[in-house]
Structure 1
Amino acid sequence: MAHYRASESRREQFRRYLEKAGVLDSLTSVLVALYEENDKPSNALELSGPAPAEVEKLRLEMVGLQQQYESLLEENKGLKNRLLQYESAQEEAATP
């Protein structure tokens, strides 16, 4: 009987660990999505998310887009400064 209680205790500890790590929530959301799916896929694991290769591809694309965004911000800043210089020069020329 003591062996039975020890395994129950370990099982409960493991269950708490999974719950704390968010594994149970993830499993529940995948199972709910599968349950609510009208056309169930032949492979239920397809609902678990994108493949690691796809994730890496998207991460690299995001890094490239972030760099492009920062470059465009710098270009925009420079163009605004140039515009302000031209507007200032025109105002000075227009003032008698």
Structure 2
Amino acid sequence: MAHYRASESKREQFRRYLEKAGVMDGLTNVLVALYEATEKPNDALDFIKQHLGPGADSTDAEGSRVELSELQHKYDLLLEENKELKNRLLQYEPAADHRGVE
């Protein structure tokens, strides 16, 4: 009988952990969305994966894509500017092998 109580206690601890971490709310929300869907998907597991997976928050993903694109463009512009500045600098500085040792 003591063994039964110990495992029940572990289950209760695990349940509290899931609740505190927001897992229960997340699962409940996905299952409610599946229940309320007018057209049930052919693959319920895929539906759950899509709504719980790392890409579940598509607004964050889209924002990150836009930011990445903007930063890539800025990076390309800075590389081009750096290249131009190096070329200009070479016009005003003597070449390294023509410098005299003083």
Kindly indicate which of the two structures has a greater share of residues assigned to helix: 1
Structure 1 residue 38: Cα displacement = 1.4
Q: Hey, what's the Cα distance between the residues in 1 that align with 2:55 and 2:33?
A: 23
After TM superposition, the score normalised by the length of structure 2 is 0.53
CA contact (8 A) 1:33 1:47 kept: no
* Unmatched runs of 5 consecutive residues or more in structure 2: 75-102
Structure 1 residue 52: Cα displacement = 5.2
After TM superposition, the score normalised by the length of structure 1 is 0.56
1:11-22 paired onto structure 2 within 5 Å: 11-22=11-22
> RMSD value over aligned CA atoms?
3.4
Structure with the bigger RCO (C-alpha within 8 Å, sep 6+) is: 2
Could you tell me the percent identity over the aligned residues? 56
Matched, 1:63 2:100: no
Matched, 1:29 2:29: yes
Structure 1 residue 44: Cα displacement = 1.1
Q: Specify the SS of the correspondent of 1:12.
A: helix
* Unmatched runs of 5 consecutive residues or more in structure 1: 71-96
